[in-house]
Structure 1
Amino acid sequence: MKKSLFLILLIGALPKLQAQMWEVGAGLGGMNYKGDVLPKFKPLVVGPGANIFARMNWSRSLSLKANGVIGKIHGNDADMGDPYHRIRGFSFNATIFEAGGQIEYNFLNFRTNASRIVNNWTPYVFGGGAVTMRSTNYTLQNLIDTGNGFVFNGTTTGSSSTRINSWILGIGFKKELNARWNWGMEFGTRWINDDFLDGLGYYKNGTYDNDPLPAAVTDFVILNRKRSVPGTRAKDMYYYTNISISYLFYKVHCPPRR
């Protein structure tokens, strides 16, 4: 019984014993944002991004990946055609630092000797989580009701930063360049537990953030024009698209000589 169990475990682990492959790599790409300022995904409103990663190919189907990402996102009410956005005049820039991990499922037998059919490319899906540090700078146009219409009265600027948690889901493609190198592409969505990635949003108790209201301006119209823009109650999201290259380390276990 013990010998049979040992043989079953040995056969199940054989692909890993034959060739464990580790990868380290880096990528460049772009970051997008969706939230209170841009409630619709706009692929052309993009900021720069870069990442480094380490991947362990656990089996022919599954890979584990540790990932570090840095990038910038931005949004401006002027990018929306909605008149409520345009009159609000809010804009922001944010820096993103992300450290996370993900599990990848390969659809094809990619770089494996555990099958008679071996592919030098494969699409894959991935999911995981991350801890994100964000630093946001924002600008709000000030309007004052003079009784004869609204008058522009300068801008209010501010900043905020915090740590947030995010859930990651995406799709990717990777291809063999040669025996030691791969290249790949990824698109991943980050759902976060925060509504202030852009500097606007609702607190967890349901109340709306009254900042960044100018201290000298108390006209209720400023607050109302912030509330009137659709999509404010939705949690913010960000996206990362990249092209990467990675180097493989082989670790082959050979049985000892008899």
Structure 2
Amino acid sequence: MNRLLISLLLLLTANIASAQIHEVGVGIGGANYVGDVGSTQIINPTDFSFHAYYRWNRSPRHSYRVSFLQTKISGNDAKSDMGNRKQRGYSFKNDIQQLSVGIEFNFFEFDLHEEKFALTPFLYLGVSGIRYDDLYYKAFEQPIEEDIRLDKVDLVRGKKKNSFAIPFGGGIKIRATPQLNITAEVLANYTNTDNLDGSHPKGDRREYYSFGKNGNDWFFYSGISISYTFGKNPCYCAD
């Protein structure tokens, strides 16, 4: 996976010297997780996120983007609308770092070397590597009274693990000035793991408590960013 990301990064940056229009930007937003613990509401940003990105505007209708996202995700059964989860009472927090490469398709032409105000909706599709805490629930018996034990579980935080995800979504781009652009977007991330929440760890089943039944985990990012444009005016024509 790491080799694939490096190859894509090299491919996207190989033509920097050709002086197309480039952008660097930073943004903030919120993330939420959907899986086997807590709420199942799809877009419900509750955890703070930060991201930075480089965008290469290959034409007025499409661009390539390399981005890094640092976010927390969490789940709490007490906030679920499912009665069995509320009764269960599990909760977790996890830290995620994500490196993505992808392509954006603009609905309208978005020519950055023009000076007038412009706006366009866009769609995004990419591939990413993610790094997260390996969580698991460990069962134990809690003594209540003599000869009485209550089965409980503890959330244990293990080492960092790597996986990949497919981010996709869309948003709106605004050219506020010839050098500054504003982007608002919502991205869904379908991950290749069912253990962001600790519900499906790998290992000895006598030690690890597994209850993941809803497939791989998702997390969603909703944010706004500002970017600075640089590079000489491009000629958007065939090479």
For 1:19 and 1:120, the matched residues in 2 are separated by 22
1:238 corresponds to which of 216, 219, 225: 219
**Which residue does the alignment assign to 2:104?**
104
Whether the aligned pair in 1 keeps the contact of 2:173 and 2:184 (CA below 8 Å) is yes
1:35/1:232 contact within 8 Å kept: no
User: How many residues are matched?
Assistant: 213
Provide the residue aligned with 2:165 in structure 1: 166
Structure 1 residues 202 and 232: CA distance shift in structure 2, 3 A: farther
Please state whether the residue corresponding to 1:251 is helix, strand or coil.
coil
The answer for the alignment partner of 1:196 in structure 2 is 195
Partner of residue 248, structure 1: 229
**Cα 1:119–1:105 shift into 2, 3 Å:** farther
1:84 paired residue number = 84
Gap runs ≥5 in structure 1: 1-17, 214-225
Cα distance in 1 for residues equivalent to 2:44 and 2:234:
48
Structure 2 unpaired stretches of 5+: 1-17
Give the aligned partner of residue 23 of structure 2. 23
Amino acid at match of 1:187: V
Deviation, 1:112, is 5.3
Structure 2 residue 124 is the aligned partner of structure 1 residue 126:
yes
Tell me how far 1:234 sits from its aligned partner.
1.3
Contact 1:53–1:66 (CA<8 Å) still a contact in 2? yes
Q: CA 1:145–1:36 in structure 2 vs 1: closer, same or farther (change >3 Å)?
A: farther
Cα separation, 2, equivalents of 1:211 and 1:248: 53
Matched-pair identity in % = 27
User: Displacement of 1:82 after TM fit?
Assistant: 2.5
For residue 122 of structure 2, give the secondary structure of its aligned residue in structure 1.
strand
Cα distance in structure 1, aligned partners of 2:134 and 2:201: 16
SS at match of 2:193: coil
State the alpha-carbon separation in 1 of the partners of residues 105 and 23 from structure 2. Answer: 16
Q: What amino acid maps onto 1:168 in structure 2?
A: P
- When normalised by structure 2's length, the TM-score is 0.77
Task: Output the CA distance in 1 between the equivalents of 2:205 and 2:62.
Answer: 43
CA RMSD of aligned residues (A): 3.2
Kindly tell me: are residues 54 and 79 of structure 1, through their superposed partners in 2, closer, same or farther at Cα, counting changes over 3 Å?
Answer: same
Larger radius of gyration: 1
1:233 deviates by 3.5
The one-letter code sitting in structure 2 at the alignment partner of 1:249 is F
Task: Give the Å deviation of 1:41.
Answer: 2.3
Q: Aligned partners of 2:126 and 2:44: how far apart in 1?
A: 26
Q: Is the partner of 1:85 in helix, strand or coil?
A: helix
Query: Post-superposition, which runs of at least 4 consecutive aligned residues in structure 1 deviate over 4 A?
Result: 136-146, 150-155, 207-213
